[in-house]
Structure 1
Amino acid sequence: MLKKPDDATLQEGRVVQEHLGRYIVSAGDRLVGCAISSKLRKALEYPTADPSSLRQRVIAVRRIPSVSPVALGDLVAFEDTGADKGMIYQVLNRRNRLSRRAAGRRPLEHTLIANLDLAILVFSIRQPDLHFWLEMLDRFLAICEMEEIPPLICLNKIDLAEEAAWRSAASLYERIGYRTLPISAAHGTGVESVREAIREAVSVFLGPSGTGKTTLLNALQPGLGLQVGEVSRATGRGRHTTSHAELFPLEEGGMVGDTPGLRELNLYNVDADQLHWLFPEMRPLIGSCRFRNCIHAQEPDCAIKAAVESGQIDRLRYQSYLRIRERP
């Protein structure tokens, strides 16, 4: 762990904005623009999980260098140098993080956001239909399992579907233990339940285009969808805001994070042979197969496949497992 300079009095704060290598740190009721100390900038590897955690069980490489030691949402120790300027000397241990493989040939990790209390997974029942995106939903859930981030599945646009359709989808995930909310952001149905869930929490909204994330964000707080959308729309356009990331404050307490790259989340560093640990319904059966190294695909006497045939494990979830295993 990095030590502070002898002549520096360090304060703790949370990184709420990042733009072109400059950071805004929230400390109490103050916002301080900070740079990263040269010593910290050179320390691009961090132990970010307890050795006994699920993350450490399933990852393929224990330590991967990072493109930057500081990410949105990080809790940091910084020196206030006056005039609302400061220097970050230390990143405190992360509870969790969402990251992706960095661009380029080098195997670097790009941490997008850290220390989340909740991930809101927004998927629509209709327009676009949920079955087109089940693999993405299951991939996001596996990431949440690995990082120990509580997910909340919002099944949006229930006003466009028959009740049996959204109840069936909700039941599939509720049986596994995931909290699911059927909502209609356009009509306000279920919005108050989402608002209560994110109150006083640091959250992130994930989901494919067209599923109603912007409508939901605007229903939760007028203008919030526009603020978040400006960050996402900057991605890939060559504008100076491409590297901008921000935690937006909520009027009733809490923050919603957005940063370019959230749509590109994947399980790039997961050992494919350990992926079954990220599917909660499979865990009780791990070790019950005929072969110890069973990957639950073509092997005989596989407990997971038997559970699929008996209906104990949903076939759609099993198909997602096989596809994610092939392409994490």
Structure 2
Amino acid sequence: MRSGTVCRGLGGVYEVETPEGVVEAVLRGRIKREERTGEKVVVGDRVDVDEDRAGEGTVWSIVKVHERTTVLARKAPGKAPRPKAIVANVDQVLVVFAAANPDPHLRMLDRFLVIAASSDIAPVIVVNKTDVAGMDAARALFAPYERAGYTVHYTAARDGTGVDGLREALCGRLSALAGPSGVGKSSLLNAVQPGLGLRVSEVSQAVNKGRHTTVTAQLIPLECGGWVADTPGLREVGLWEIEPDQLQFYFPEFEPLLGDCRYPTCTHTHEPGCAVRAAAQSGEIDAGRYDSYQRMFLGEDEE
């Protein structure tokens, strides 16, 4: 019996990092029948594995999945309502968007931030490709997030801008990199840890969207300590099990105003005397962020 962490899973076979080395393991029947959020096992899960003798070889099986401290999950694509777990047991999620090429979809970024906060995972924003858009333009575009209190790293994987600061944010922690395709997540990891050699691809100029280069999540050990999960690029981000009346608590710029509304049950969407709505109208709260809140509150699907 060994204990370890799932580093990668593909086709029902999981790579598990143990103190004695990496083993490939499959799920035992009992584990397959257990009720869990989303997938039975995802990258970052802490598991126990045991060996079974099969002829002249050894087959490893996952016999126990330990309780998750955190799980980053979204609504699975399609009409059937079910969760899609992305990664488990991470300390922070670094949400990576490009300043340009592809153009940043800020309403999608807002959904990522809400999903992380609702999962009790600290969100950090990484704005990549600042060399394409220009640093001044990138900072102006993401200024509302800094004013709201988010930590924002401005980077350019191609020329090394901001890579040292990003490396410092990753070292010694278990982190996940998430974001759309084509924003440079794998390129950033290659810059953070030279020699890693993750596959990268160019953005499609026809649709201004990235091509998937990371096809399955994988947990990568860092030479400076800690781990980082490189996750596949996402083109839609649906909220899962977030009640509308809780949504207000996942917008940090709303917090100072929540006790100032006329009605204690204010939804901040239409009520008279709403302090949050008034702040959005006056510019104290960014209009785009407030629009994101309204869309999520009304249950509008992500484009």
The TM-score by the shorter chain falls in which range?
0.7 to 0.9
1:124 to 84, 98, 107: 98
Distance 1:109 1:197, change over 3 A: same
| 2:46 aligned residue (70, 75, 80) | 75
Separation in 2 of the partners of 1:138 and 1:103?
Answer: 18
Q: Tell me: CA distance 1:273–1:252, structure 2 relative to 1, closer, same or farther (3 Å).
A: same
Distance in 2 (alpha carbons) for counterparts of 1:105 and 1:279: 27
SS at match of 1:155: strand
1:19 to partner: Cα distance: 1.7
SS for the counterpart of 1:233 is coil
Distance in 1 (CA, whole Å) between partners of 2:15 and 2:182 is 31
Give 1:1-328 correspondences, 5 Å limit.
Answer: 10-45=1-36, 66=38, 68-81=39-52, 85-102=59-76, 107-130=81-104, 133-222=105-194, 224=196, 226-227=198-199, 233=212, 244-260=216-232, 262-326=234-298, 327=300
Alpha-carbon offset, residue 211 of structure 1: 2.7
User: What is the CA distance between 1:102 and its match in structure 2?
Assistant: 4.1
Q: Is the 8 A contact 2:176 2:231 kept in 1?
A: no
Unaligned runs of 5+ in 2: 202-210
CA distance in 1 between partners of 2:289 and 2:82 (Å): 30
The worse-fitting range, judged by mean Cα deviation, of 162-171 and 288-297 is 162-171
Please tell me whether the aligned partners of residues 170 and 181 of structure 1 are also in contact (alpha carbons under 8 angstroms). Answer: no
Task: Give the superposition deviation at 1:262.
Answer: 4.5
Residue range with higher mean Cα deviation, 288-297 or 162-171? 162-171
* 1:14–1:158 Cα change, 3 Å: same
Contact 1:15 1:76 in 2 (8 A): yes
Structure 1 vs Structure 2 CA RMSD: 2.8
**Is the CA contact (8 Å cut-off) linking 1:73 and 1:116 kept in structure 2?**
yes
SS of residue matched to 1:175: helix
Unpaired segments of 5 or more residues in structure 1?
A: 1-9, 47-65, 236-241
Q: 1:251 to 1:85 in 2, by over 3 A?
A: farther
TM-fit CA distance, 1:287: 4.7
Q: Distance in 1 between matches of 2:233 and 2:139?
A: 31
Decide whether aligned partners of structure 1 residues 105 and 141 sit closer, same or farther in structure 2, where only a CA change above 3 A counts: closer
Shift of 1:141: 0.9
Q: Contact 2:248/2:254 (CA < 8 Å) preserved in 1?
A: yes
Normalising by the residue count of structure 1, what TM-score does the alignment of the two structures yield?
Answer: 0.76
Higher helix proportion (structure 1 or 2): 1
Residue in 2 that maps onto 1:54:
none
CA contact (8 A) 1:71 1:111 kept: yes
Q: Distance in 1 between the 2:162 and 2:152 partners?
A: 11
Distance in 2, Cα, partners of 1:45 & 1:116 = 17
Going from structure 1 to structure 2, the CA distance change for 1:14 and 1:252 (only over 3 Å counts) comes to same
Identity of aligned residues (%): 41
Distance 2:131 2:263 in 1: 47
- Structure 2 residue aligned with 1:57: none
2 CA distance for matches of 1:318 and 1:70? 36
Shift of the 41–225 alpha-carbon distance from structure 1 to 2, 3 Å rule, reads same
Measured after TM superposition, the shift of residue 40 of structure 1 is 2.1
Q: Which amino acid aligns with 1:43?
A: E
Structure 1 residues 227 and 199, CA gap change in structure 2 (3 angstroms): farther
Distance 1:210 1:170 in 2: 19
CA distance 1:169–1:104, shift in 2 (3 Å): closer
Q: 1:194 to 1:35 in 2, by over 3 A?
A: same
